[in-house]
Amino acid sequence: MATLRFKALEDVVHRKPIHPEIKFSKVSEYYGLNVFDRKKMQQYLSVEAFDMVEDSITHGTRVDRRLANQVALGMKAWAIERGATHYTHWFHPLNGTTAEKHDSFFEPVEGGGAIENFSGSLLVQQEPDASSFPSGGIRNTFEARGYTAWDPSSPAFIIDTTLCIPTIFVSYTGEALDYKTPLLKSNVALDAAARKVCDYFHKDVQKVIATLGWEQEYFLVDAALYNARPDLALTGRTLMGHSASKDQQLEDHYFGSIPERVSAYMKDFEFEALKLGIPVKTRHNEVAPNQFECAPVFEEANLAVDHNMLLMSVMERIAKKHNFRVLFHEKPFAGVNGSGKHNNWSMATNTGINLLSPGKNPKSNLRFLTFVLNTLKAVSDNADLLRASILTYNNTFRLGANEAPPAIISVFLGKHINDMLERIEKSVSDKKTMTPDEKAALKLDIGKIPEILLDNTDRNRTSPFAFTGNRFEFRAVGSSANCASPMIVLNSIMADQLNSFHEEVQNEVSKGFKRDEAIFRILRKYIKATKNIIFEGNGYSDEWLKEAEKRGLTNIRQVPESLKAFVSPSTIKLMERNNVLSKRELEARHEIRLDVFKKKVQIESRVLGDLAINHIIPTAVKYQNVLIENVRGMRDLLNTGEFNRQAGLQLETLKEISAHISSIKEGVDAMVEQRKIANAHSLIDDVAQAYQVGVVPYIEEIRYHIDKLELIIDDEIWPLPKYRELLFIS
Ligand code: ADP
Ligand code: MG
Distance (Å, whole) CA 213 – CA 216 = 10
Q: Are residues 601 and 496 in the same domain?
A: no
For the CA of 295, the nearest atom of ligand 1:
14
Q: Are residues 376 and 238 in the same domain?
A: yes
Q: How does pLDDT run across 496-510, given as a tens digit for each residue? A: 999 999 999 999 999
20 found inside a domain: no
For the CA of 468, the nearest atom of ligand 1:
4
Would you say residue 5 has pLDDT above 70? no
> Which CATH number belongs to the domain containing residue 374 in this structure?
3.30.590.10
Contact 350, 504 (CB under 8 A): no
So what's the pLDDT on residue 40? 94
Residues with CB under 6 A from ligand 1: 211-213, 215, 282, 295-298, 344-346, 354, 470-471, 473
Contact 336, 289 (CB under 8 A): yes
Q: How does pLDDT run across 230-239, given as a tens digit for each residue? A: 999 999 999 9
| Highest mean pLDDT, choosing among 159-173, 249-263, 606-620, 633-647 | 606-620
19 found inside a domain: no
Q: pTM (2 decimals)?
A: 0.92
User: 263 CB contacts (<8 Å, ≥6 apart)?
Assistant: none
14 found inside a domain: no
Question: Which among 267, 279, 345, 284 is positioned nearest to 306, based on CA atoms?
Answer: 279
The number of the ligand nearest the C-alpha atom of 475 reads: 2
Q: Are residues 566 and 625 in the same domain?
A: no
Q: How does pLDDT run across 608-630, given as a tens digit for each residue? A: 999 999 999 999 999 999 999 99
For the CA of 344, the nearest atom of ligand 1:
26
- Residue 467's H or E segment, with its range, is strand 465-467
309 found inside a domain: yes
Distance of CA 16 to the CA centre of its chain: 33
**pLDDT mean across residues, the chain:** 88
Q: Are residues 423 and 553 in the same domain?
A: yes
Residue 9 banded pLDDT, cuts 50, 70, 90 = very low
So what's the pLDDT on residue 254? 64
Using the 3D structure, point to which of 143, 175, 207 is the last residue of a domain: 175
Q: How far is the CA of 344 from the centre of ligand 1 (A)?
A: 6
23 found inside a domain: no
For the CA of 342, the nearest atom of ligand 1:
4
> Which CATH number belongs to the domain containing residue 606 in this structure?
1.20.120.1560
Amino acid at 541: S
Q: Are residues 206 and 136 in the same domain?
A: no
Q: Are residues 571 and 604 in the same domain?
A: no
Which residue of 190, 214, 215, 354 sits with most ligand 1 atoms within 8 Å of its CB, as the best mutation to test the pocket? Answer: 215
26 found inside a domain: no
Q: Are residues 211 and 329 in the same domain?
A: yes
Q: How far is the CA of 455 from the centre of ligand 2 (A)?
A: 11
Q: Are residues 122 and 262 in the same domain?
A: no
Would you say residue 309 has pLDDT above 80? yes
Q: Are residues 139 and 229 in the same domain?
A: no
Would you say residue 187 has pLDDT above 60? yes
Segments in 199-235 forming alpha helices (H): 223-227, 230-235
Q: How far is the CA of 471 from the centre of ligand 1 (A)?
A: 8
Q: Which domain holds residue 551?
A: 187-581
Distance (Å, whole) CA 72 – CA 66 = 10
Q: How does pLDDT run across 37-69, given as a tens digit for each residue? A: 999 999 999 999 999 999 888 887 888 888 889
